[in-house]
Chains A and B, each alone.
Chain A
Amino acid sequence: MLLPALAADPFHVDATVETLDNGLVVIVAEDDRTDTVALHLTYGVGARDERAGEFGAAHLFEHLMFEGSANVPTNMFDEWLTAAGGSNNAYTSEDVTAYHMSFPSGALDLALFLESDRMGFLDAGLDETNVANQQSVVLQERAESYAEPNGRDWDALGAISFPSDHPYHHSVIGTIADVEGFEVDAVRDFWRRHYRPDNAVLALVGAVDTEVALERVRHWFGDVPRPEAPLQRATEPLPTPIRGQRGVIEDDVEERTLWLTWPAVPRHHPDEAPLDLLANVLSNGRGTRLDDALYYESELASSVAMFDPFSERAGLTMVVVSSESTPLKKLEKKVVKAIERIPKHPPTEAELDRARRSVRGQLLDGLERPEDVAEHLADCYRQLGEADCVGEQWARYEAVTVDDVVRVARKYLIDKEPNRLSNVPRGDDGALAGSTPVELP
């Protein structure tokens, strides 16, 4: 067996892929540094798959997946797994819903039993009590998040950065009315549409023997039926990105914050790597341009960051900057100026090398723990059709030139009007002119 850390190619993960008759893709990689196995099961369903009137369904459904299935009574999913020394959690994004576990190797059968039962036979465990309870939990999750300073910003950014008919316009947590309005039948319908073996990728990484693991997966998942109806996921062209929106959130904060967003590219687009490196050149700590100009050398801002939340169908480039006293208009000018300087003052080789190596380190850090490796393998396969893709990702970063960085700065940012979200203290008039309140119903 070749441990990721010891392989000649540090990005290579020795993984085996098999597709079961029902369409489930299974990926197995061995790593016996500890007696632990990580399981990562990703379903191709996220907030972008929600129809009008069911905003928040994917995330609510993530909660309901722990409420029991045909052969796992309510609350026993967690109890049986915990009693075996395992732990688990889940997350929902715009693109996917993922369930992840970690457990001692002796609990492999238990873990596969639990996951296969809720993949194949969940609807029997859905009842009004469970749905009502998790509706309350989800609404409280939203309320707790929104109660913290800047807690509504992220959801507001989606609302101003994507047009109303764009699948990323609405938030993952959903609207109060939609979450409150779900009934058991609608939930069952959602499960049938999306929770099917041919819409899932299962990765197992850790103290397993590949052949044994594959055999046990076939055993537990082999009888999960594949629906006759073909899997349907929207792939129609997306609405044109919007620019120039100005929104404002009044919040229980003492500082003002400005978010700028520019429409960019989806994940794995050829321009993803140069855009990401541009963001790293401008903002990645001491010695990077934006951070030095606004924070380290001028103290105009109390914090600044630039990054690219690339999703599967669309992406943004973002800057966020906060200050107690500097007007947001001035902060915006500084940000735009730093970006506009790029063609005349392109990144030096040293700047680009630092940005590249920073990404390289992050990629390698993501291959240290079995849990992270399992997630990488599942994501890679789902998005690119091959499990071992981190090396290829790195190759794309390695190939980026200074000219590429300048080109994407011109193409996506320079002279392109951003969307702007101001977050200001309640009653403060420091939002950018022309901003209108962003409602998050």
Chain B
Amino acid sequence: MSWWMFLALVHAAEPTPEAAGEAPSDTEAAASAAPEGPSGPDRSGPPEVPPPEVLVLAEPELHAIGATQVHVVPVPGVRKVEVRVRPGIGQITLMGAPGLEGRAVGWLADAATADHDAAELSGLEDLHNLDVYSSMSLHHGTLGVEVPLEDLDVGLELLSEMVRTAAFPKAETRRWVTNQRRHYTLTGPSSLSSVAGSAVSYGWFPSDHPYGARPDLAVLDGIDGEGLAATYGRWLQEAPLEVLVVGDVSYADVAPALEAMLQGLGTDGVPEPELPVEIPGGLRVVAVDMPGQEQVGLRLRLSAPPQDDADEVAMWAGNHVFGGHFLSRLNTNLREDKGWTYGARSSYQRGAHYGMVTVDVDVAVANAAAAIAEIEAEVGRLVEQGVTEPELGLAYRSLVQSWNTTRGTASDAIDRYSDALDRREALADARARRVALAEVRGEAVAAAAANWFHDEAPRLWVVVGDREALAPQLEPLGWPIEWITPEDAILGRF
């Protein structure tokens, strides 16, 4: 029996309170008194909704320009076109290690070109309602443009300028360096959410692994536009390139511009793989002292299956039930039932070699210890009891609906197709994973949670708040707490 049939039967089979021997509540009494005359609608229960179908998304059309594969996804009716050039190596391969210089290359490539200084480029973006953007992550990068169809020529021209002649002007580079210093020394340490986010990231990934590399502010002294430009040029020479085109266009509409843009760039090869990473097992607790802070940021990170692991789909569904939407267990418990937080959520991130579930809750300091206990209890409940069929039904429909809106805008569509390229999978496989969600059962979720959330598995708690107020609450937990400063959290100095 499918879960939506199960849901329908659950609703149909629920006894009325009277039949179960219970007094009706005020709400139920009022419901029975609500107007339902012969001319009015039947309000006795929710109208039926047909089960969802998982939209079939076409595979991209494949073309080749030299060594570069061009993936074209026609999406009729959308106003904008989005084109992304995707270098298949990033900071780790290009620079030897991740760091601020690599981030600067990605951040500043879209600032100016040989033909247009920063002010002109910014003005052109306003004039044509387009956005030229760039980034370099650890393993790859993105150089892209989003542009209305009627200005496609302008958009492609500016993208080509960025790809071939990004200028890295002195003034923009100096400003970026200043802003980085400000973030790491001033604004970052004063923001509870930034402090908590950094503490989780650096507390999880070991400092001797590229994923846990700490920012070295001394590097900022040596960053200059010429050096960045040289690195950028090398990046586009040495990286295997892919291009993704999404919008109400055909390959013929973009081919001449792409051919000119890509001439002499890129190399044979495939995008670099992610790295294996070993997270030390057991509990780690990092507490960040922010004197005077009345709120407490609570973050819990747990190990989880990587993509394509046998437990991935069960964990995906389980996380959705656990903290992935408004009706999740965490939000229902901590917000709707107890009123302790404005929102409690969890996210499930995974790559080729790692996976992690991260809980994110802010509460008043008086509720910190109790909230920690509730979150741990919800983790335990997931392990011991799994999830129910109705809960799985909610997760399935939500995740299917987000897939089914893929073709609403070029931006939605390109994100979906980029995800597929990141995983090196066909859209049919991505769709199959959604379809497989319907087959997940509660026991599978419990088994996956047990496999990954056990006591010897990596488990990181981050608590951010006023130490004086927090310490008495944390002491009874008997945790091995590392107290650090907000500055240490932002810079990963622990």
Contact = CB atoms under 8 A, between A and B. Distances in A.
Interface stretch (A12-20, A250-258, A379-387): A250-258
A85 B400 contact: yes
Nearest to B179: A302
Given A324-B182, A426-B292, A147 B362 contact: yes
B341 interface: yes
B22 to A, nearest CB: 13
A297 to B, nearest CB: 8
Interface stretch (A67-75, A155-163, A240-248): A67-75
B50 interface: yes
A6 interface: yes
B362 A104 contact: no
Interface-central residue, B179, B364, B393, by most chain A CB under 10 Å: B364
A255 B178 CA distance: 14
Interface-central residue, A34, A103, A219, A292, by most chain B CB under 10 Å: A34
Interface in A104-148: 104, 106-107, 109-110, 113-114, 116-117, 121, 123-125, 127, 132-137, 140-141, 143-144, 147-148
A117 B34 CA distance: 10
Contacts of B256: none
Contact of A84 (B39, B44, B49, B78): B49
Nearest to B76: A33
Interface in B17-68: 26-28, 30-31, 33-35, 37, 39-41, 43-47, 49-50, 52, 55
A79 interface: yes
Nearest to B44: A71
Contacts of B182: 255, 302, 324
Interface stretch (A47-55, A164-172, A364-372): A364-372
B326 A78 contact: yes
A437 interface: no
Nearest to B43: A71
B77 interface: yes
Contacts of B44: 71
Interface-central residue, A133, A134, A223, A255, by most chain B CB under 10 Å: A223
Contacts of A70: 27, 30-31, 33-34, 43
A239 interface: no
Interface stretch (B156-164, B190-198, B222-230, B277-285): B190-198
A31 to B, nearest CB: 9
B186 interface: yes
A144 B190 CA distance: 14
Given A3-B77, A86-B401, A287 B192 contact: no
B43 to A, nearest CB: 4
Contact of B79 (A5, A76, A87, A284): A5
A8 interface: no
Contact of B407 (A10, A33, A110): A33
A85 B7 CA distance: 13
A185 interface: no
Range, interface on chain A = 35 or more
Nearest to A82: B394
Interface stretch (B116-124, B257-265, B268-276, B419-427): B116-124
A104 B126 contact: no
B1 to A, nearest CB: 16
Nearest to A284: B126
Contact of A73 (B7, B27, B149, B393): B27
Nearest to A134: B339
B294 interface: yes
Given A85-B52, A147-B294, A219 B41 contact: yes
B71 interface: no
B295 A254 contact: no
A36 interface: yes
A327 interface: no
Contacts of A286: 118-119, 121-123
A143 B325 CA distance: 22
B129 A361 contact: yes
A110 B46 contact: yes
Contact of A223 (B37, B80, B406): B37
B50 A106 contact: yes
A417 to B, nearest CB: 30
Interface stretch (A226-234, A307-315, A351-359, A401-409): A351-359
B189 A78 contact: no
A355 B337 CA distance: 48
B290 interface: yes
B407 A34 contact: yes
A296 interface: yes
A84 B129 contact: no
A358 B397 contact: no
B171 interface: yes
A123 B363 CA distance: 30
B372 interface: no
Contacts of B409: 368-369
A5 B77 contact: yes
Nearest to A254: B186
Contacts of A302: 179, 182
A63 B390 CA distance: 24
Contact of B342 (A121, A140, A358): A140
Nearest to A107: B49
Contacts of B126: 284-285, 354-355, 357-358, 361
B340 interface: yes
Contact of A149 (B190, B327, B338, B342): B190
A299 interface: yes
Given A87-B398, A106-B50, A296-B175, A360 B340 contact: no
A73 B28 contact: yes
A125 B34 CA distance: 11
B326 A82 contact: yes
A124 B27 contact: yes
Nearest to A362: B129
B192 A148 contact: yes
A83 interface: yes
Contacts of B454: none
Contacts of B43: 70-71, 113, 117
Given A104-B52, A106-B49, A299 B295 contact: no
A258 B189 CA distance: 21
Interface of A: 3-6, 10, 33-36, 68, 70-76, 78-80, 82-87, 102-104, 106-107, 109-110, 113-114, 116-117, 121, 123-125, 127, 132-137, 140-141, 143-144, 147-149, 219-220, 222-223, 252-255, 284-287, 292, 296-297, 299, 302, 324, 353-355, 357-358, 360-361, 364-365, 368-370, 426
15 contacts: A6-B77, A70-B27, A70-B30, A82-B394, A86-B401, A107-B49, A121-B30, A136-B340, A140-B340, A140-B364, A223-B41, A324-B182, A353-B127, A354-B123, A357-B126
Given A87-B325, A360-B129, A364-B129, 20 more contacts: A5-B77, A5-B79, A34-B406, A78-B326, A85-B49, A106-B50, A113-B41, A133-B337, A136-B340, A137-B336, A137-B341, A148-B192, A253-B187, A286-B122, A296-B171, A297-B171, A355-B126, A357-B128, A368-B409, A370-B408
* Pairs of residues from A and B, 10 with the lowest C-beta to C-beta distance, nearest first: A136-B339, A124-B30, A361-B129, A287-B119, A85-B401, A286-B122, A109-B47, A5-B79, A85-B397, A254-B186
Interface of B: 7, 26-28, 30-31, 33-35, 37, 39-41, 43-47, 49-50, 52, 55, 77-80, 118-123, 126-129, 148-149, 171, 175, 178-179, 182, 186-187, 189-193, 248, 290, 292-295, 325-327, 332, 335-342, 362-364, 390, 393-394, 397-398, 400-401, 404-409
